[in-house]
Structure 1
Amino acid sequence: MSEIFLHDSEQQWTDLGEGVMRKILVFNDELMLMKVRFKKGAIGALHQHPHTQISYVSAGKFRYHINGVDSILTAGDSCIIDSQLIHGCECLEEGELIDSFTPYREDFVQST
């Protein structure tokens, strides 16, 4: 579990390679918030997980693929990804996502 208050400037980015970086923000056992930065052309490979995910595009332009449906999302847009749906994205213009997961991504916490 994270602290109640989190200051963005004190958190470190994790370089995931190939133009993608992640910063875990606040979380508890039920919910997690994080930032993900993408360079233009970077790919969030197709995958699935048991968590429900909401993504908010805070900057940039992304092509999302969720459960066989594609959509272009730009700053201010969002999407919800239900548990076990196959999904991924491609960054069309350098940008940043704000992602939330329920329950929290224990695998992400263990890898930091």
Structure 2
Amino acid sequence: MKNIVNVNEVQKRKVKEGIEMCVLAWGGSLMMTQVFFKKGTASDPHSHKHEQLSYVVKGDFTYIIDDKRYEVKQGHSIYIPPNVPHWVEAITDGILVDVFTPIREDFLKKGD
């Protein structure tokens, strides 16, 4: 459990070219991450058992969730149900805060 985390003190890890993330606070069944995107980059299509909320801190993004397209920008949030295929593309440089339940154990195995 990490219940107090300063994003400026957490090392970012490369997800893929143009995308970096860091694990912020987690405990119980909740986890928060911050993800940094370069313009034009996209996550790989994926699904997971976790419920996910994403909040756009900065930038413009396109989400594809279960083949439906959503355009979101700074100040928007979006819900992604468990086990639903999805991916996100950065239209501009941007930052997302993602919250998961249950916690992403796979993220903790990478050094946090």
**TM-score relative to the length of structure 1:** 0.95
Instruction: Give the equivalent residue in structure 2 for 1:82.
Output: 81
Give the deviation of 1:71 after TM superposition.
1.0
The secondary structure found in structure 2 opposite 1:45 is: coil
Instruction: Supply the distance in 1 between the matched residues of 2:66 and 2:96 (Cα, whole angstroms).
Output: 19
Question: Aligned residue for 1:30?
Answer: 29
Task: State percent identity of aligned pairs.
Answer: 35
Q: How does 1:73-112 map to 2 (within 5 A)?
A: 73-112=72-111
C-alpha deviation, 1:8, in angstroms: 2.0
AA in 1 matched with 2:87: G
Deviation at 1:29, TM superposition (A): 3.7
Q: CA deviation at 1:5?
A: 1.7
| Structure 1 unmatched runs, 5+ | none
| RMSD of equivalent CA atoms | 0.9
List runs of 5+ in structure 2 lacking aligned partners. none
Corresponding residue number in structure 2 for 1:59:
58
Deviation for aligned residue 1:9:
1.9
Find the aligned partners of 1:94 and 1:80 in 2 and give their Cα distance.
21
Residue-pair matches, total: 111
Tell me which residue corresponds to 1:44.
43
Bigger share in strand? 1
Using the TM superposition, name which of 94-103 and 25-34 deviates more: 25-34
Q: CA deviation at 1:17?
A: 2.3
> Structure 1, residues 22-41: CA drift from partner, whole Å, max 9, x if none?
01000014000010000001
Runs of 4+ aligned structure 1 residues displaced above 4 Å come to: none
Which TM-score applies when normalising by structure 2? 0.95
Cα shift readout 1:35-59 (whole Å, capped 9, x = no counterpart): 0000001111110000000000100
